[in-house]
Amino acid sequence: MLLSYIKIAWKVLMRRKFFTAINLFGISFTLMILLVVMALFDHALGPNNPERRTDRLLYVQTIRQQMQDGLGWMNMPASPHFVNHFVRTLKTPEQVGMISNINNATAFTNKGLLALDVRYADGEFWQMMDFEFLSGRAFTPAEVKQSQPLCVINEATARQYFGRLDVVGQTLELDLHRYRVAGVVRNVSAARIMTYSDVWLPYTLDPGLLRDSRLEGPYLTIILAPSAAAVPAVRREFDQLVRRIPIPKPKDVKAIYAFADTPLISLTRAIHFDVNATRLEDDNLGTFYAVVITLGLLFMLLPALNLVNLNVTRILERSGEIGVRKAFGATGSNLVSQFLVENVVLVLVGGLLGLALAAGALALLNESEVLAHAHFSLSWRVFGWGLLLTLLFGLMSGVYPAWKMSRLNPVAALRGSGEQK
C-alpha cells in the first residue's frame, strides 16, 4: 500500500509541475537557512577537533567581582594563581588546564612580516584536547615547569614561516625571542575560541605572567570531567570552591562569582539575559532554548502556511478523484494516509534540495574565509537534524489538508463542489 501511495504521489507532483516547483522552492530555501545556521552552530560548539569531548569539558571564562557600595562589577578571566592554587584542588575533575587569551606577535620571514596569534598554555591543556598532530608532539607539564623555550605551531604557520611541514626541531623567532618547534598541528578554526591559535607557548614563558596572588588575569580555565554523568557534580564542587575563596580586597570587593560551564552554557551565560546572575542555575539555558525553538518555528511557519493553502487548493481541484475513491469504499484514514505520503514525498525532495543548497552555501562561506581556518560542513549530526526538520515540516503542512480531504462529502465531491460532511 505504501509503495502505491508513493507512486501516486510522484505522478501527482509531476502532473502539476508549476505547483510542485513553488512548493519545492519554499521548502528548500527554508531548510537551507536552517541547516546553514545549524552547521555554523555545530562548527563552533559541536564535538569537533580539538574539542571532541564537549560532553565532558567545562570552561571558566570569567571571574566576576561585585564591587562594594554599588560600584558595579569587574569581569576578567583567571590568573595562573587561581588555577594552580584553587581549581587544581578539586577532587571530582579528571584534569584541569588553562590557556591564555590571544596575543599578537610578529615573525620575520623572507617575504616580510608575518602577524601571528599566540597563546600560552600549560601541559595539561594538550592532554585534555584532541589536536591532530601532523608531526612532533606537544610540550609536557614538566617542560612547562622548566620554562623550556618550546612551541607548537599550526600548519599554516609552518608553511608561511618555513615553507614546509617537517619543521620539528627548527627555530621560530617571534618578537625577537627564539623557540624550538616541538610539534605541528592541523589548523584550528577561529570559531573554537578556547583552542584556536597560530602558535602555542608554555605559559611560564609569558612575559606578562602574574606571579602574585591576584585571582584575575588573562587565562581561561578548562576542566575535564571523568564522564558526562559527572559534569553536574564537577560544576557543583567548583561552585562550592568559589564560595570558599577569600576575598582579596574586602574593602573594595563585596563578592566573587565564577562558574564552570559546558560550551553551550558558556555561550548562554555570556549572552547576558541577566547581567547580575549570581547562582549556578542562572545560566539562561532554558531561555536560550525557548528563543531558538520559537524563532525556528516562526521561521518555518510562513512557508508551512503557504504550503497548507496550496495543498487545500489542490485538494479541492481533486474533489472528483476523492469522490470516486470514496464511492468505491476508501475510508477517511485511507485518504489521510495517501495525502500525507504525497506531502512527505514532496517535502523530502525539497529537503534534499535544501541539503544541496546548504552545502553550496557553506562551500561559498569557506571560500570567502570569513573565519580563519574555518571549514563549515554538513556533519551527520546536522544531516540528522535536517531530516527531522524535513519530516516536521511535512507534518505541519500536511495534517490539516489531509483532514480536510477526509471530510469531503462523496456525492458533492463527485459533482466537484468540494463540500464537506
Q: What is the pLDDT of residues 141-165, one digit of tens each?
A: 999 999 999 999 999 999 999 999 9
Q: What is the pLDDT of residues 88-140, one digit of tens each?
A: 999 999 999 999 999 999 998 888 899 999 999 999 999 999 999 999 999 99
Kindly tell me the burial class for residue 196, based on how many C-beta atoms sit within 10 Å of its own C-beta (0-12, 13-18, 19 or more): buried
Nearest to 259 by CA among 275, 248, 243, 246: 243
Place of cell 489521510: 336
CB 80 within 8 Å of CB 203: yes
Q: What is the DSSP letter of 224?
A: E
What are the φ/ψ torsions at residue 98 (nearest 5 degrees)? -150, 155
Please state, in angstroms and as integers, the Cα–Cα distance from residue 283 to each residue in 104, 155, 242, 263, 264, following that order: 32, 37, 16, 12, 10
- Residues 136 and 150: their CA atoms lie apart, in Å, by 12
**Could you tell me the pTM of the whole model?**
0.81
Domain ranges of the chain: 2-46+287-415, 57-261
Q: Report DSSP letters for 322-341, one per residue.
A: HHHHHHTT--HHHHHHHHHH
How far out from the chain centre does Cα 254 lie? 35
Tens-digit pLDDT string for the chain (421 aa)? 556 656 555 565 566 666 667 777 777 888 888 888 888 888 888 898 899 999 999 999 999 989 888 788 888 999 999 999 999 999 999 999 999 999 999 998 888 899 999 999 999 999 999 999 999 999 999 999 999 999 999 999 999 999 999 999 999 999 989 999 999 999 999 999 999 999 999 999 999 887 888 999 999 999 999 999 999 999 999 999 999 999 988 888 999 999 999 999 988 887 764 556 677 877 778 888 888 888 877 777 767 676 666 666 666 666 666 666 666 666 666 666 767 777 777 777 877 888 889 889 999 888 888 888 988 887 777 777 767 776 776 666 666 666 666 665 555 545 554 455 5
